[in-house]
Every structure is written in C-alpha cells, then in structure tokens.
Amino acid sequence: MNEIVLKGIPASSGIAYGPAFILDKGEFIVPERVILEHEVDSEIARFEQAVNDTRHEIYFLKEKIKQDLGEKQAQIFDAYLLVLDDPALFEQVDQGIRQNKNAAEYIFLKVIKQHAQSFSKIKDEYLRERAGDLNDIAQRVLKHLMDESKLHDLDNLQDDLVIVAHNLSPSDAVSLYNKKIIAFVTDIGGPTSHTAIIAKSLGVPAVVGLKDSTLRITNDDYLIIDGQKGLVIIHPTQHTKEFYSKEHSQIRASLRRLEELKGLPAQTIDGKKIALLMNIGLANEVPSVKKFGAEGVGLYRTEFLYMNRLDLPTEEEQYQAYRQAVEVVSPYPVTIRTLDLGGDKFISSVQIPKEMSPFIFKTQLRAILRASAHGRVQLMYPMISGIGELRRANAILNEVKNNLHQEKIPFDSKIKVGVMMEVPSAVMTAEVLAKESDFFSIGTNDLIQYTLAVERVNEKTAHLYDPAHPAILRMIQKTVDAAHSEGIQVGVCGEMASDPTMALLLIGLRVDELSMSSSSILAIKKMVRSLRFSDIQSICQEAMQLTTGQEIQEFVLLQMQKLGVQ
Amino acid sequence: MFKVEKEVTVANKQGLHARPAALFVQLVDKLNVSVTIQKEQEQINGKSIMALLTLGAQYGTVLKLIVQGEDLSQVQKALQAFEEFFGQQEEELNS
C-alpha cells in the first residue's frame, strides 16, 4: 500500500503512531438484545419499573422547581408526567416486547422515535418542538433501563487508538478522557476547537481540519500523527517510520529537559516574575497544577461537570468538585468560570428548558461561594458583552450571597469577581467594566473568533484565525490599559498564552498572568527564563508598529532566534 | 355497559392544543371509561396525550367520540369534558 500524507491544521503538538479508529456518531447507542420467551414478562416489568422510577424523579424535580422558581416553571414537567402515563406508549412497548422478543430499552426507544417523528410533522411550531421533550423523557427512562455508561458508545473503546472523527463534541471529548487515546484526527475544527483543548490537556497530538479524513482512513489503518506540522500519514513507509521514530525520541528528550524547569520560578533574566497558571476542565487534571509548578488555576471550565450525564449536577456535587480543586491548589487561586448557558460551549445530553437557566446559575453560584470558604476562589463570568449584563449577574450573585448569609453557610464575602473579556463590545467598553470588576481575564479564543469573524469549527475559515492580527493585539492592549488604570489585574486564559511567540507579546503588553494547558507551561517558562523583560518590551513595541499578523509573527520569531531562544 | 358515540366539531381555534389536551387526558384518566377518538379512518386512544397531539385535529375537524363505561354518569362526564375543552373558544379557556 502506498503512503498517503494528509495535511491539516496542527491542534496539539507531539508525535504518535498506532491503528486508526473511526468514530461514527449516533445519538444514543441502544443495541438490540434478543430475549427468550420466558423473559418477556420480566422485561415488561423492568420497563414498568423504569417508568415508575422516572416518574418519581420527575415529580421530585417538579417540586424542586416549584419551590425555587414557582408554579409556572414547574408546569413543563406536567407534560412529562402525562407522557409517562400515556396508555398508548405502554401498549406499544408491551406489544413490541412480546412480538419482537427484544429488550425493553430497544423497543422503547423505537416507539419513542416513532412518536417523535409524528411530532416533527405537526404544523404547529410549539407542538413540533415537543419532540425535544420526548427525547429528554426517553433519556431519563433509558437511564433507568440501562447502565448509564453504555449510552455512550465511546465508552466501549479499546486502548491505544488514534481517534478519527468528523468532529468531536465537547461531551465526546470528555468520554474519551479516561481512555488511552494516543491522538485525535478530525475532519473539521480549528486550532482552538474543543478537540484541540482536550488533546492538549491530555498531552496527545491532534490534527484537525482535514476535511475528509474519515473517508480516506479506514479502521485499523496504521497512522503516524505529526501534531507539530499538522500531518497524518496513512500506511507510512519504513523510511517514514524510522524518521518519525527518531523525531519522537528527540521530542521526548527535549521534554525531559523541560521537566528540569518544574521547580524553578517563571522569571526573566532581569528578575521580572510572570505568573503562569493552568487551565483545567476536569477533576483529574487538578493534581497537574502542582506537578507542573503552576501558580494556580486561571480558568476552571465548569461546563465539563454538566456533560455526558442525563441529569444536572447538584449543588453538593459541584461544591465537592470545586472544593477539592481549591484545597489542592491552595494557597494559589482557582478562577472558576460560570456556565455560559446560552452559548455553544454548553452542549450536553441534558436538554434544559430555558426557564431553568436562572435556577442552574444560582445553584452553581451557591456551590462556588461555598467552595470559597476553603481557599482562594475567584469567580468569572463568561460572554459578558457590556456593563448591563455584569450588573445583572452581580445582582443574582448578591441574592445568593444573602441567602447563604441567612442560612449561616460560610463563604468568602470578599470573593473576587471578574469578567472574561472575549466579546469585542466588552473590550471596547473595558474602562467602564474595569470600574465594577475585580479582575479581567482575556479569553482570546472567542475574542479572535468574534473580532475576525472566523468560525471556530469551520475548517474553511481556520486560516483566517490569526492571534497576531494587529486588531487583536490592540484590543489586548486596550484591555490591559483599562484594567491597570483601575488597579486591577488582567490575565489571558486563551490558547494564545500557550504559544511562546504570542506569550512573549502578551508579556510585552503587560498582561499580569498567563493561563494555559499543562502541556504548555514548561515551554512558556523556558521562554520567560531565557529573555530579559526589557528585551521583551522592545520587541513588543516594535511588533506593534507592524501591519499584518504574519509580519508580526515572523518578526517576533526572528528576534527570539537572535536572542538564542528556540 | 354503556357505549355512547357522538360527533364533535373542534371549535377551539388552536385545534387540539397542548394545554386543553393535557387537561382532558388528566380528567378522563380518573374516570372508569374507555375513550376512543376517530378522525376519518384513524382511531386513537383518547387517554393518550401523544396520540391526541399528533392526531392533527385542527379547528373545524369533525371527530367521532366513542366512550364506553359501566357508569353512565362517568361516560357523560367524559363527553362533556371533551366538548368543554375543545368545543370552546380559547379566550374562554384561558380565563
């Protein structure tokens, strides 16, 4: 077989080789399971029990919503209960199990899908949308019928595979977190897609934006992934294999050299200290914060807590997760970003009625505040577009604080509350926001996307994604100036902070903190330790005079080489 | 055993809409009767919310209601309920 080289967008560096696994994405994976005649009755009983359990669960949820949000919001669950009591549903499942001799979950899903299809044909828009409610009910019942983990096909994967997919949703990425995946390859996506973020935190290479890799690669094809250059090599020749094997050992050797920096401070030659923090999303990343010598967590992505599950995490569950991170990272701070309920980041198997958003937000705020009693917690709102939104969020925060106070539950009453600067309108009004914020953190991934009109997952526009674009650098400068004139700190928690060239510019623009995935911390520390702050500043000043992102990148790289930084 | 058949024209402007349908199902569920609704050749169980909603009975549709039960007063209650929930104008229903 001939060697084929596919060129994509590098999303996470490193080299890996192994067999391909093509990931096909279905919604739920409920396998057929043939049953025997004498199992029919017990299978039907199992279905009835599952419906009963779901009914109790929904009844409980309804009561909780009624107390927290009022009667009207709770009414949505009445419809759920009616569906669970629907005699036609029972009849069809009962008959289906008897006639087809198949498992309850398989028949149930088939019946629900038929109904959902009828709903989707209704002319009335409101009724048509109720198909989504059916889906939610289906998930809840299935959870009682099946082992929850089996609802996601990804969990049945074997180890040591290169995952090849058209696209990976954040929740797929979470399912893959505990597997021994050695690399990711996707058809779509850009350098800041969730695939890239997850790959970086796993420390495995990823190449995205390959357009048609899922068509060109077949299962078990032997692949080499070059995350640095963005190459995927199918059926590599012996010569290529040898080349990459050498390359791989060189990378490992340089990683070992980086390891030596772990205990050393991130300080320039002339003594300027730069705070390097870590971005985390999952509880099992917490130990890496200390391991890599990060000075805290600059971004805790809480949306992962909500993914790949059929219910919402409770206040207690969130509190325990945040508290664990806070205690481990102490005395350094943990900056917890609240959910962006309206945005695309919040993709989950739970379908949440819009009316529940305030309830979810309050629950999360309570959990975060409670965790603040155990160390240094900073609270950060995403997607703020102006002062009005900040004030509204703060009003809810104050309400939650008052409640906790009345209930005599301890929390840090002086908790710092900051704004994630990622919407261009927020940057343009940074002076106003700075007056009512305790800190800023620039989310460069979204800021670049919104400023340059580049879609994050669209491989066709990925080449326009340009962190060094003069507009982006000026926006960062404006944000830093606004923050410093109000005496507040400003950090960067986007991927831009993990690229040494870009990090140099950020330091030159006087950003106070850089937060990044664990795999980048040591490389950035190395850059910081090999330069003088005075040099960084003059490189940055000169770069700011240039007119295109490419010129800026090339200039900075050249200056770094001149100063002996690799 | 009583069996009553009756033709009813949907007079609710929104047809068999979610809320009245839900109220109807909730009510007849408590009665010891069977409710069948026929629209042209199609017959559905009147106690099934999903069947009711997906029947596609709009304003002006003529439905045949077949109610059976041991107790005549319960049978009549079911018939009344249908007229009450779908025979009325929506304004009156909301009040």
**Chain B residues touching A83 at Cβ < 8 A:** 49-50
Residue A170: strand pairing partners: none
Tell me the pLDDT tens digit for each residue of A473-482: 999 999 999 9
Alpha-carbon span A482 to A479, nearest angstrom: 5
**pLDDT for position B93:** 37
**pLDDT for position A172:** 64
Number of domains in chain B: 1
Q: Do B18 and A78 touch (CB under 8 A)?
A: no
Domain assignments of chain A as residue spans, ordered by start: 4-25+154-257, 37-150, 264-562
> Does A441 have pLDDT greater than 50?
yes
- Determine the structural domain holding residue B52 and report its residue range: 2-89
CA end-to-end distance (rounded Å), chain B: 36
Backbone φ/ψ region at A109: left (φ over 0), alpha (ψ -120 to 50), beta: alpha
Report the CATH number at residue B25: 3.30.1340.10
Query: Reduced to 3 states, what is the DSSP secondary structure of residue A237?
Result: coil
Alpha-carbon span A473 to A431, nearest angstrom: 17
B95, part of any domain = no
Name the architecture of domain A264-562: Alpha-Beta Barrel (3.20)
Report the range of poorest mean pLDDT among A94-108, A174-188, A309-323, B71-85.
A174-188
- Mean predicted confidence (pLDDT) in B79-85: 86
- Quote the distance between the C-alpha of residue A455 and its chain's center: 16
- Mean predicted confidence (pLDDT) in A273-292: 89
Confidence class for position A384, pLDDT limits 50, 70, 90: very high
> Does B89 have pLDDT greater than 50?
no
In angstroms, the separation between the Cα of residue A379 and the nearest Cα of chain B is 41
Q: Does A125 touch chain B (CB under 8 A)?
A: no
Does the pTM surpass 0.90? The reply is: no
**pLDDT for position A500:** 94
H or E element in which residue B16 lies: none
DSSP of A427-491: HHTHHHHHHT-SEEEE-HHHHHHHHHT--SS-TTTGGG--TT-HHHHHHHHHHHHHHHHTT-EEE
**pLDDT for position B92:** 36
Helices (H), A487-532: 500-508, 518-529
More confidently predicted of A7 and A160: A7
**pLDDT for position A252:** 87
**Chain A residues touching B50 at Cβ < 8 A:** 83, 86, 88-89, 115, 118-119, 134
Report the range of poorest mean pLDDT among A74-88, A126-140, A392-406.
A126-140
Report the range of poorest mean pLDDT among A208-212, A296-300, A369-373, A480-484.
A208-212
Residue A55 buriedness (CB in 10 A; 0-12 / 13-18 / 19+): middle
Q: Is B17 a known active-site residue?
A: yes
Where does A4-25+154-257 sit in CATH, by number?
Answer: 3.50.30.10
Tell me the pLDDT tens digit for each residue of A151-180: 445 555 666 889 898 877 655 666 666 667
Q: Cβ contacts of residue A412 below 8 Å, gap of 6+?
A: A369, A372, A373, A377
> Does B94 have pLDDT greater than 50?
no
Alpha-carbon span A121 to A135, nearest angstrom: 15
In angstroms, the separation between the Cα of residue A136 and the nearest Cα of chain B is 15
Query: Reduced to 3 states, what is the DSSP secondary structure of residue A266?
Result: coil
**pLDDT for position A521:** 93
Q: Which residue has the tokens 């019946």?
A: A111
B94, part of any domain = no
In angstroms, the separation between the Cα of residue B90 and the nearest Cα of chain A is 16
Q: Does A86 touch chain B (CB under 8 A)?
A: yes
| Class (C level, CATH) for A37-150 | mainly alpha
Q: Cβ contacts of residue A504 below 8 Å, gap of 6+?
A: A527, A531, A536, A539, A540, A556, A560
- Mean predicted confidence (pLDDT) in A113-120: 82
